[in-house]
Amino acid sequence: MRAESLVSTDAQQQILAGRTLLLIVGGGVAAYKSLDLVRRLRERGARVRTVLTAAAARFVTPLSFASLSGERVFDDLFSLTDEQEMGHIRLSREADLVVVAPATAHLLARMASGQADDLATTLLLATDKRVLVAPAMNVRMWLHPATRRNIAQLRDDGVLFVGPEEGEMACGEFGPGRMSEPLAIVAAIAAALPGAGRQSLAGRHVVVTSGPTREPIDPARYLSNRSSGKQGHAIAAAAARAGARVTLVSGPVEIDDPPGVETRHVETALQMLAAVEAALPADLFIGAAAVADWRAEPAPDKIKKRPGGAPPSLVLSENPDILARVARRESARPTLVVGFAAETRDMIANAEEKLARKGCDLIVANDVSAAAGVFGGDANEVHLVGPDGVESWPRLDKSDVAARLVARLAERLSQAECAR
């Protein structure tokens, strides 16, 4: 699922039209892509006010941004005219969303430490709006422990990220660090804007698990399953569009991180459990991952075939049940805990049994037999199994299942809180 496809172009148009975006351009080669970003945003009816850092103005000219955005461009905190005509507080308060693209390692470091030594960082410190950043830097800078620390800090502060992508970089190296393409940033902006869709989850924190887990047997082999992560990722994206702060804990999948969502990548069930526990507290937990039930004690070296010898036997131990652990927490239990039941037979009976055994509030049951074609496919046919009965939905696109589920859970969340 490409990031762009998570919010259709029509929906983007609806969300972006009439919105004011404050675009902060950092000083990196990728700054030229932000010119195209402005064009794409304007095409969708958004108003874009641009602030260039001093370094950005060496890569792209304020005039280019002024011509494309049809707005004057701001680049100096201490310009008296700016302060009289448009104080920096007003500049950030009047925006619906602040977007930093490209966000260089230096700019991220200044944001993480709360500096306010130029107009860009002053605005970022003064804003009461959501901030979405599109990092762009050399792969070694991206992977440096200092940048990792700054990013962890910014994520904790609620800053949203889109990208970076992996690929060939301007400096000739290969790896993560390339700024996301303008259309992917547009999709992330549409997902992050307050009022994108009904803001039924505004102010909520939602934790979603998605994808398979991978349990190593030796350095070359692992146990896993066929989960694609499409349904879980679509739910995370839908929750973000409904205004939630979303933490997605994802096993290894082939699809992109959803825009506007904090994604934590893990491999094993134990890592997934640790990432989920670190992400709590939350209002809503949705366990959509196909967590491997068992893990092996991985051999330190690759297990070799012995000609004529018996095949090795695997000694497996049971993985913790993440869903049950979250549902049975004594402290910081999310108000709603939702699990999935992937079944090939006796779907409803099995789902009811799981609901009771795991102590969750709702089970989304689906038929994953080969005939249903759910694994890896784009459609899903689900049944919501709760203590008060079963509701069956027709076969829908996974993104429609996600949107409906999020709407339903938002209602239940409000009801559960009213009943307290």
CA separation for the pair 256, 165 (Å, rounded) = 10
Quote the DSSP letter at residue 181.
Answer: P
Residue 67 near residue 162, CB atoms below 8 Å: no
Complex with ligand CTP: residue 119 or 322, whichever CB lies closer: 322
Residue 238 near residue 253, CB atoms below 8 Å: no
Shortest distance, CB of residue 390 to ligand CTP, whole angstroms?
16
Shortest distance, CB of residue 368 to ligand CTP, whole angstroms?
9
CA separation for the pair 166, 191 (Å, rounded) = 22
Residue tagged 């934790």 (tokens): 207
Annotate 235-304 with DSSP letters as a single string: HHHHHHHTT-EEEEEE-S-SSPPPTT-EEEE--SHHHHHHHHHHH---SEEEE-SB--SEEE---SSPPP
Sheet holding 382-386, edge to edge: 262-265, 245-250, 205-210, 284-287, 336-343, 362-367, 382-386, 389-392
Identify whether 171 is a catalytic site residue.
Answer: yes
Quote the DSSP letter at residue 170.
Answer: T
Residue 134 near residue 103, CB atoms below 8 Å: yes
CA separation for the pair 6, 338 (Å, rounded) = 22
Quote the DSSP letter at residue 229.
Answer: S
CA separation for the pair 399, 322 (Å, rounded) = 24
Q: Which of 17, 171, 332, 349 does the annotation list as catalytic?
A: 171
Instruction: Assess whether the previous peptide bond of 164 is cis (omega < 30° from 0).
Output: yes
Complex with ligand CTP: residue 7 or 342, whichever CB lies closer: 342
CB atoms within 10 A of CB 350: 17
Name the residues that contact ligand CTP, by CB under 6 A.
209, 269, 287, 289, 291, 293, 319, 321-323, 339-342, 354
Which among 167, 201, 203, 163 has a CA at the least distance from the CA of 183? 163
CA separation for the pair 101, 178 (Å, rounded) = 11
Shortest distance, CB of residue 420 to ligand CTP, whole angstroms?
25
| Catalytic sites, residue numbers | 171
